Amino acid sequence: MRTAVVGHVEWIQFARVERVPVAGEISHPEEAWEEPGGGGSVAAVQLSKLAGNCTFFTALGNDDVGRRSREGLEALGVRVEAAVRDAPTRRGFTFLDARGERTITTIGERLHARADDPLQWGELAGTDAVYFTAGDVGALRAARAARVLVATSRVLALLDAGDVALDAVVGSARDEAERYPEGGIDPPPGLVVLTAGSEGGSWRTADGRSGTFPAAPLPGPVADAYGCGDSFAGGLTYALGAGMGVEEALGLAARCGAACVTGRGPYAGQLRLV
Protein backbone atom coordinates (compact mmCIF):
# COMPACT_ATOMS: atom_id res chain seq x y z
CA MET A 1 0.00 0.00 0.00
CA ARG A 2 1.37 3.42 -1.03
CA THR A 3 0.51 6.55 0.93
CA ALA A 4 1.22 10.27 0.66
CA VAL A 5 0.50 13.61 2.29
CA VAL A 6 0.17 16.96 0.54
CA GLY A 7 0.64 19.55 3.24
CA HIS A 8 2.74 21.82 5.39
CA VAL A 9 5.62 21.79 7.87
CA GLU A 10 6.11 23.87 11.01
CA TRP A 11 9.32 23.69 13.06
CA ILE A 12 8.03 23.51 16.64
CA GLN A 13 9.76 24.44 19.88
CA PHE A 14 8.14 22.66 22.84
CA ALA A 15 8.22 23.75 26.49
CA ARG A 16 6.71 21.60 29.24
CA VAL A 17 5.37 23.78 32.09
CA GLU A 18 3.12 23.26 35.10
CA ARG A 19 0.63 25.67 33.55
CA VAL A 20 0.57 28.19 30.70
CA PRO A 21 1.91 31.49 32.10
CA VAL A 22 -0.44 34.44 32.49
CA ALA A 23 0.29 37.91 31.13
CA GLY A 24 3.44 39.41 32.64
CA GLU A 25 4.60 36.16 34.24
CA ILE A 26 7.99 34.51 33.68
CA SER A 27 7.83 30.74 33.29
CA HIS A 28 10.66 28.19 33.52
CA PRO A 29 10.01 24.95 31.61
CA GLU A 30 10.66 21.55 33.14
CA GLU A 31 11.75 20.31 29.71
CA ALA A 32 12.25 21.83 26.26
CA TRP A 33 12.98 20.42 22.79
CA GLU A 34 12.27 21.10 19.12
CA GLU A 35 11.38 19.04 16.04
CA PRO A 36 9.36 19.25 12.81
CA GLY A 37 5.62 19.46 13.35
CA GLY A 38 2.46 20.77 11.73
CA GLY A 39 -0.51 18.75 10.52
CA GLY A 40 1.16 17.55 7.34
CA SER A 41 4.30 16.32 9.08
CA VAL A 42 2.47 14.50 11.87
CA ALA A 43 0.09 12.72 9.49
CA ALA A 44 2.96 11.76 7.17
CA VAL A 45 4.92 10.10 9.98
CA GLN A 46 1.79 8.33 11.22
CA LEU A 47 1.08 6.99 7.72
CA SER A 48 4.67 5.80 7.42
CA LYS A 49 4.35 3.91 10.69
CA LEU A 50 1.14 2.25 9.51
CA ALA A 51 1.91 1.54 5.86
CA GLY A 52 5.70 1.35 5.92
CA ASN A 53 5.98 4.30 3.54
CA CYS A 54 4.77 7.87 2.96
CA THR A 55 5.75 10.54 0.45
CA PHE A 56 5.27 14.08 1.72
CA PHE A 57 4.63 16.78 -0.90
CA THR A 58 5.39 20.11 0.75
CA ALA A 59 7.44 23.31 0.60
CA LEU A 60 10.32 24.40 2.81
CA GLY A 61 12.19 27.64 3.23
CA ASN A 62 15.76 27.96 2.01
CA ASP A 63 17.03 28.12 5.58
CA ASP A 64 18.49 26.02 8.37
CA VAL A 65 15.05 25.28 9.80
CA GLY A 66 13.94 23.94 6.42
CA ARG A 67 16.98 21.68 6.16
CA ARG A 68 16.51 20.41 9.70
CA SER A 69 12.83 19.75 9.01
CA ARG A 70 13.67 17.63 5.97
CA GLU A 71 16.34 15.70 7.86
CA GLY A 72 14.07 15.15 10.85
CA LEU A 73 11.19 13.82 8.76
CA GLU A 74 13.43 11.58 6.69
CA ALA A 75 14.89 10.14 9.91
CA LEU A 76 11.31 9.32 10.92
CA GLY A 77 10.75 7.31 7.73
CA VAL A 78 9.10 9.88 5.45
CA ARG A 79 10.21 10.52 1.89
CA VAL A 80 10.16 14.32 1.47
CA GLU A 81 9.26 15.82 -1.92
CA ALA A 82 9.72 19.53 -1.18
CA ALA A 83 9.82 22.71 -3.20
CA VAL A 84 12.30 25.21 -1.76
CA ARG A 85 11.13 28.80 -1.31
CA ASP A 86 13.12 31.99 -0.76
CA ALA A 87 11.12 32.51 2.43
CA PRO A 88 11.53 31.38 6.04
CA THR A 89 10.16 28.00 7.04
CA ARG A 90 7.21 28.48 9.35
CA ARG A 91 7.96 28.00 13.04
CA GLY A 92 5.83 27.57 16.12
CA PHE A 93 5.98 27.54 19.90
CA THR A 94 3.99 25.10 22.01
CA PHE A 95 3.38 25.08 25.77
CA LEU A 96 2.55 21.66 27.25
CA ASP A 97 0.90 21.90 30.66
CA ALA A 98 0.68 19.36 33.49
CA ARG A 99 -2.48 17.85 31.94
CA GLY A 100 -0.70 17.31 28.63
CA GLU A 101 -2.76 20.00 26.89
CA ARG A 102 -0.99 22.01 24.20
CA THR A 103 -1.17 25.76 23.52
CA ILE A 104 0.29 26.69 20.13
CA THR A 105 1.53 29.93 18.56
CA THR A 106 2.63 29.79 14.91
CA ILE A 107 5.17 32.25 13.50
CA GLY A 108 5.42 33.17 9.83
CA GLU A 109 3.61 32.27 6.64
CA ARG A 110 2.58 28.67 6.06
CA LEU A 111 4.45 27.26 3.05
CA HIS A 112 2.86 24.64 0.83
CA ALA A 113 3.48 22.90 -2.46
CA ARG A 114 1.91 24.20 -5.69
CA ALA A 115 0.98 22.25 -8.78
CA ASP A 116 3.60 24.14 -10.82
CA ASP A 117 6.41 23.07 -8.48
CA PRO A 118 8.74 20.51 -10.14
CA LEU A 119 7.71 17.66 -7.85
CA GLN A 120 6.81 14.06 -8.70
CA TRP A 121 3.07 14.77 -8.88
CA GLY A 122 2.52 11.91 -11.33
CA GLU A 123 3.25 9.40 -8.56
CA LEU A 124 -0.05 10.27 -6.89
CA ALA A 125 -1.94 8.38 -9.61
CA GLY A 126 -0.42 5.17 -8.26
CA THR A 127 -0.99 6.01 -4.61
CA ASP A 128 -3.63 4.23 -2.53
CA ALA A 129 -4.34 6.94 0.05
CA VAL A 130 -3.50 10.65 0.34
CA TYR A 131 -4.15 13.11 3.16
CA PHE A 132 -4.34 16.80 2.20
CA THR A 133 -3.66 19.62 4.69
CA ALA A 134 -2.32 22.46 2.51
CA GLY A 135 -1.55 23.36 -1.09
CA ASP A 136 -3.07 25.23 -4.01
CA VAL A 137 -6.08 24.13 -6.06
CA GLY A 138 -3.81 22.44 -8.59
CA ALA A 139 -2.12 20.40 -5.85
CA LEU A 140 -5.52 19.32 -4.53
CA ARG A 141 -6.58 18.20 -8.00
CA ALA A 142 -3.30 16.32 -8.42
CA ALA A 143 -3.97 14.56 -5.11
CA ARG A 144 -7.38 13.44 -6.42
CA ALA A 145 -5.55 11.07 -8.77
CA ALA A 146 -5.04 8.79 -5.73
CA ARG A 147 -7.53 6.01 -5.05
CA VAL A 148 -8.56 7.56 -1.70
CA LEU A 149 -8.30 11.27 -0.84
CA VAL A 150 -8.92 12.60 2.68
CA ALA A 151 -8.62 16.28 3.62
CA THR A 152 -8.72 18.50 6.69
CA SER A 153 -11.59 20.95 7.13
CA ARG A 154 -9.04 23.64 8.09
CA VAL A 155 -8.80 24.53 4.38
CA LEU A 156 -12.52 24.49 3.64
CA ALA A 157 -12.54 27.36 1.13
CA LEU A 158 -9.76 25.71 -0.90
CA LEU A 159 -11.58 22.36 -0.87
CA ASP A 160 -14.72 24.02 -2.19
CA ALA A 161 -12.79 25.89 -4.89
CA GLY A 162 -11.08 22.67 -5.97
CA ASP A 163 -14.35 21.09 -7.13
CA VAL A 164 -13.11 17.55 -6.47
CA ALA A 165 -14.94 14.63 -4.90
CA LEU A 166 -13.28 13.84 -1.57
CA ASP A 167 -13.58 10.45 0.05
CA ALA A 168 -13.53 12.01 3.52
CA VAL A 169 -13.13 15.30 5.36
CA VAL A 170 -11.88 15.38 8.96
CA GLY A 171 -12.87 18.27 11.21
CA SER A 172 -13.58 19.09 14.83
CA ALA A 173 -16.78 19.38 16.81
CA ARG A 174 -15.01 21.75 19.23
CA ASP A 175 -12.46 23.86 17.35
CA GLU A 176 -14.12 26.69 15.45
CA ALA A 177 -11.30 26.73 12.87
CA GLU A 178 -12.03 23.08 12.02
CA ARG A 179 -15.82 23.10 11.90
CA TYR A 180 -17.55 21.52 8.93
CA PRO A 181 -21.00 23.02 8.29
CA GLU A 182 -23.72 21.06 6.53
CA GLY A 183 -23.10 21.45 2.79
CA GLY A 184 -19.67 22.91 3.44
CA ILE A 185 -18.25 21.92 0.05
CA ASP A 186 -19.60 20.83 -3.30
CA PRO A 187 -19.49 18.06 -4.36
CA PRO A 188 -20.17 16.71 -0.85
CA PRO A 189 -17.49 14.38 0.55
CA GLY A 190 -18.26 10.70 0.90
CA LEU A 191 -17.63 10.86 4.66
CA VAL A 192 -17.49 13.71 7.19
CA VAL A 193 -15.84 12.99 10.55
CA LEU A 194 -15.97 15.43 13.47
CA THR A 195 -13.74 14.62 16.42
CA ALA A 196 -14.46 15.55 20.05
CA GLY A 197 -11.32 14.52 21.94
CA SER A 198 -11.93 12.16 24.84
CA GLU A 199 -15.62 12.01 23.92
CA GLY A 200 -14.93 10.34 20.57
CA GLY A 201 -16.80 11.98 17.74
CA SER A 202 -19.46 11.69 15.06
CA TRP A 203 -19.67 10.81 11.39
CA ARG A 204 -22.06 11.04 8.47
CA THR A 205 -21.92 9.86 4.87
CA ALA A 206 -23.10 11.41 1.65
CA ASP A 207 -25.75 8.69 1.33
CA GLY A 208 -27.38 9.69 4.63
CA ARG A 209 -25.90 7.27 7.17
CA SER A 210 -24.59 8.70 10.45
CA GLY A 211 -23.34 7.65 13.84
CA THR A 212 -20.93 8.27 16.68
CA PHE A 213 -17.70 6.59 17.71
CA PRO A 214 -16.00 6.31 21.10
CA ALA A 215 -12.50 7.43 21.95
CA ALA A 216 -10.06 4.54 22.17
CA PRO A 217 -8.63 3.60 25.58
CA LEU A 218 -5.27 5.21 26.25
CA PRO A 219 -2.41 2.68 26.09
CA GLY A 220 -0.54 4.64 28.79
CA PRO A 221 -0.64 7.84 30.85
CA VAL A 222 -1.33 11.17 29.17
CA ALA A 223 1.90 12.91 28.16
CA ASP A 224 1.30 15.33 25.30
CA ALA A 225 -1.80 16.18 23.22
CA TYR A 226 0.18 17.78 20.38
CA GLY A 227 -0.47 15.90 17.12
CA CYS A 228 -3.32 13.69 18.34
CA GLY A 229 -5.84 15.01 15.82
CA ASP A 230 -3.42 14.73 12.92
CA SER A 231 -2.43 11.21 13.98
CA PHE A 232 -6.16 10.38 13.97
CA ALA A 233 -6.45 11.77 10.43
CA GLY A 234 -3.41 9.82 9.28
CA GLY A 235 -4.92 6.66 10.74
CA LEU A 236 -8.25 7.29 9.05
CA THR A 237 -6.54 7.88 5.69
CA TYR A 238 -4.62 4.62 6.01
CA ALA A 239 -7.72 2.67 7.04
CA LEU A 240 -9.88 3.94 4.17
CA GLY A 241 -7.05 3.26 1.73
CA ALA A 242 -6.83 -0.28 3.11
CA GLY A 243 -10.52 -0.79 2.31
CA MET A 244 -11.91 -0.76 5.85
CA GLY A 245 -15.55 0.15 6.44
CA VAL A 246 -16.44 3.37 8.23
CA GLU A 247 -16.69 2.00 11.77
CA GLU A 248 -13.56 -0.14 11.51
CA ALA A 249 -11.64 2.78 10.00
CA LEU A 250 -12.74 5.12 12.78
CA GLY A 251 -11.72 2.52 15.36
CA LEU A 252 -8.16 2.43 13.98
CA ALA A 253 -8.04 6.23 13.70
CA ALA A 254 -9.14 6.56 17.34
CA ARG A 255 -6.38 4.16 18.39
CA CYS A 256 -3.86 6.37 16.55
CA GLY A 257 -5.08 9.47 18.35
CA ALA A 258 -5.01 7.73 21.73
CA ALA A 259 -1.51 6.35 21.19
CA CYS A 260 -0.15 9.76 20.22
CA VAL A 261 -1.26 11.38 23.48
CA THR A 262 0.93 9.00 25.50
CA GLY A 263 4.23 10.05 23.90
CA ARG A 264 6.58 13.02 24.22
CA GLY A 265 5.98 15.20 21.18
CA PRO A 266 3.87 14.07 18.25
CA TYR A 267 5.87 10.99 17.22
CA ALA A 268 7.11 8.99 20.19
CA GLY A 269 3.76 7.42 21.05
CA GLN A 270 2.30 6.98 17.55
CA LEU A 271 0.76 3.62 16.69
CA ARG A 272 3.00 1.43 14.55
CA LEU A 273 1.76 -1.50 12.45
CA VAL A 274 4.98 -2.16 10.48
Residue 274 lies in a domain: no
Residue 140 pLDDT level (bands cut at 50, 70, 90): very high
| pLDDT value of position 178 | 82
Return the exposure string of 45-69: e unless at least 16 CB atoms fall within 10 Å of the residue's CB, then b: bbbbbbbebbbbbbbbbebebbebb
Q: Above 90 in pLDDT, residue 19? A: yes
Does residue 7 contact residue 133 with C-beta atoms inside 8 Å? yes
**Mean pLDDT, rounded, for 35-48:** 98
Residue 5 in this model has a pLDDT that exceeds 80: yes
Say whether pLDDT at 98 is over 90. Answer: yes
pLDDT digits (tens, 9 = 90+) for 141-188: 999 999 999 999 999 999 999 999 999 999 988 777 788 888 889 999
The residue segments making up the domain with residue 187 are 3-260
CATH code for the domain of 255 = 3.40.1190.20
Residue 170 within any structural domain of the chain: yes
- pLDDT single digits (tens) 229-250: 999 999 999 999 999 999 999 9
* 127 lies in some domain: yes
Residues 208, 18 contacting (CB under 8 angstroms): no
Query: Mean pLDDT over all residues of the chain?
Result: 96
Question: Is residue 50 in some structural domain?
Answer: yes
Q: Is the pLDDT of residue 115 over 80?
A: yes
pLDDT tens readout for residues 50-95 = 999 999 999 999 999 999 999 999 999 999 999 999 999 999 999 9
In a domain, 160, yes or no: yes
What pLDDT does 43 receive?
A: 98
- What pLDDT, on a 0 to 100 scale, did the predictor assign at position 72? 98
Residue 99, burial from CB neighbour count under 10 angstroms (0-12, 13-18, 19+): exposed
**Under DSSP, is residue 201 helix (H, G, I), strand (E, B) or coil?**
strand
Residue 88 has a pLDDT of 97
Span 261-266, mean pLDDT? 96
Is 227 inside any structural domain? Answer: yes
68 within a domain of the structure (yes/no): yes
Q: Would 23 be classed as within a structural domain? A: yes
- Average pLDDT of 102-111? 95
What is the tally of structural domains in the chain?
Answer: 1
What are the CA-CA distances from residue 182 to residues 108, 186, 192 (Å)? 32, 11, 10
